[in-house]
Structure formats: C-alpha cells, structure tokens
Amino acid sequence: MLEVTLAWVTTDSIVSLGSTQLPVTDPWLLPTQIATVVGGIAALVAAGGVYLVWKQLRLAAWVNAQEIITDLEFVKARTAIQEHYEINTNACPSGDKDKALLVCRKMDQLCCLARERVLPENKFLKQWARPIGKCWIVTQHRWRMITDARKHDDNPTKWDAFMCIGERASKKL
C-alpha cells in the first residue's frame, strides 16, 4: 500500500488535511499512481496561484481607480462640473467645456474598471455613485456632451462605460 497524506505546512505547525491509501496491485503501476498524485497536487497549487494573481489584479485595479479619482486636475474639473449639478445649469458655459470633456474621459476610464468586471460593480457604485451620477447628469442629461461627442467623432460607443455606469449611478442619487 502507498499512503498519500495532504498537509498544510506553516512556519510553526503541520496540519494534516487527510490521507488515503492507494493499493499497489502491480509494481509497474506505482510510477503512474505517484505521477497522478503529484499532478493533482500541482493542479491545486496552480489553482491557488491563479486565485492569488486574480486578487493582485483586483488590488491593482482599486489602486488605479484611486489614482484616477484623486488626480488633481480631474478633481478640479469634477468639482466645477458638480457645481453645475447643484445650481441646475442647463447650458454648458464655454469655460467649462474643456473641463467637462476631461471629466467624461476620466469617468469613462474609471468606469471601464467596473464595466470590464475588474472591480465588482456593486462595491464600485457604493464607493463612487455620487460623483459619477452627478457628473453623468450634468454632462449627458443637461448638456448632451456624450451624445454630441459620439456624433462629432462618428463613434457610437465613445464613453460607453461612463454612459452605462453613469446611468446606474444617477439612479442612486
């Protein structure tokens, strides 16, 4: 009999997760059985590695989102646009058009992280629904910037992530 034990090893202990005995009916099958056990363990290690890489990518995406949302130029532009939400401006002042375009670009970049399933959308909206929703209402519903930019550039999917997530965020206001 060949006994195989799966254990979790830490710096101060060894925890047995279980063991099994494999019957050795033919000595020529022993290498095959050992290879099968080693292959199973390798598959578990690979699955753990994939999980750790996925968690690392998600952390990197949150850091990227924080960098986008806290960029000084973007914060100033977003603040200017959000002021128009509060005072209910229906026409884009000429001095704020460049700021609104910057907000649309950065918001689309930010929303792509949730739309492409890198960040969980519910947590994403819990964190940033208010700024995204306010900017969406001002730039699209009041000023029609996104619709106009799509027509101007002949690109029907321009800022699509901002449009999709912005619509959901505006319903949370």
Return the domain boundaries, the chain: 2-51, 71-170
- Torsion sign (Cα): 96, 87, 133, 74: positive
CB count within 10 Å of CB 164 equals 16
Cα 57 to chain centroid, rounded: 8
Q: How far apart are CA 158 and CA 150, in angstroms?
A: 6
Per-residue pLDDT, averaged over 36-49, amounts to 90
Question: For 6-10, 29-33, 59-63, 95-99, which range has the lowest pLDDT when averaged over its residues?
Answer: 6-10
Residues with Cβ within 8 Å of residue 105, at least 6 apart in sequence: 159
Q: How far apart are CA 29 and CA 27, in angstroms?
A: 5
Note the pLDDT of residue 23.
Answer: 67
Note the pLDDT of residue 138.
Answer: 95
Question: For 5-14, 42-51, 116-125, which range has the lowest pLDDT when averaged over its residues?
Answer: 5-14
pLDDT band at 56 (very low <50, low <70, confident <90, very high): very high
- Torsion sign (Cα): 14, 16, 17, 22: positive
Per-residue pLDDT, averaged over 20-36, amounts to 74
pLDDT band at 140 (very low <50, low <70, confident <90, very high): very high
CB count within 10 Å of CB 109 equals 16
Note the pLDDT of residue 9.
Answer: 67
* Cα-based torsion angle of the residue sequence 96, 97, 102, 107 in order, rounded to the nearest 10 degrees: 90
At residue 132, does pLDDT exceed 90? yes
Q: What is the pTM of this model?
A: 0.75
Can you read off the two tokens belonging to residue 28? 């020529």
